Structure 1
């Protein structure tokens, strides 16, 4: 065993292996130093990509806001156009109702006038028949029973005056 004691001081790896806490502490210190150096290195050199991300994010937000505003404006424009179309449609419907009323009145007048024309035609037909029957009756009666023409009556009344 004395031989082992003599070998231990000459081999430094064996001496570290004998103290595992010291070895773990040294490894931990190296690990912390590495992480710290990486963090410091990223803080100085890695800030540009971080800033680029922030700028890109802000630009995206600005574009989104602008697109949203444009969408709102277009929606308002569509609403106005739709309201104008509704108003125009209402005017056309009102005009159509007016035309329907005028057409109904005109049809009623046309019907009334047609009935009046039919009544007049019937009256004319009645007069024609009456005139035709009067002529037929006149043609059937002897000419003796006819009245004297107006010129004979005039001469007769003139004779009475001259004799009187």
Structure 2
């Protein structure tokens, strides 16, 4: 067993294992040195979390500005389209008013012509009735034979012979 005791005293790792406080202190010093070196490295290279937040906020502001510009452009486009639609609607309304006026004039002309046709029909009916009554009076009156004048008879006989 003495041999074992001598082997442990000559090996430094075994000696550290027997003193856990020293081992823990050494590991702690190494960790603190590592964290400190990382913090110093980030501070000098500018990749600290605050710098990342600043970069992220600037990117967000740039995206917001770009989105705002796009919205303004789209709004202007919509305004132009709406104005064109209003202008076209005004033209259509003007054409509709013109068509209404023309239709009213055409209806007035149609009414006037219809009245004239009705008046002509009444006149024609009156003439028919008068013609019918004249024929009726003629039929009741004794028939008188009319003779053609002599010169018509001569020409008629000449024509018959040829």
State the TM-score, normalizing by the size of structure 2: 0.64
CA distance, structure 2, for counterparts of residue 23 and residue 158 of structure 1: 167
Q: Name the count of aligned residue pairs.
A: 162
Give the 3 Å change call, closer, same or farther, for CA 70–5 of structure 1 in structure 2.
closer
Deviations 1:4-37 (A, max 9, x none): 9999999999999999999999999999999999
Counterpart CA distance in 1 for 2:158 and 2:2 is 201
Single out whichever of 19-28 and 85-94 deviates more from structure 2. 19-28
Higher deviation after alignment, 93-102 or 24-33 = 24-33
CA distance in 1, matches of 2:150, 2:75: 97
**Structure 2 stretches of 5 or more lacking a match?**
none
- RMSD across aligned positions (CA): 10.0
- Alpha-carbon offset, residue 143 of structure 1: 1.3
**When the two structures are superposed, what TM-score results if normalisation uses the length of structure 1?**
0.63
* Displaced runs of 4 or more, over 2 A: 1-48, 144-162
Q: Does the aligned pair in 1 maintain the 2:17–2:23 contact within 8 Å?
A: yes
After TM superposition, give the deviation of residue 48 of structure 1 in Å.
Answer: 2.2
**Unaligned stretches of 5+ in structure 1?**
none
Q: In structure 1, what is the Cα distance between the partners aligned to 2:2 and 2:159?
A: 204
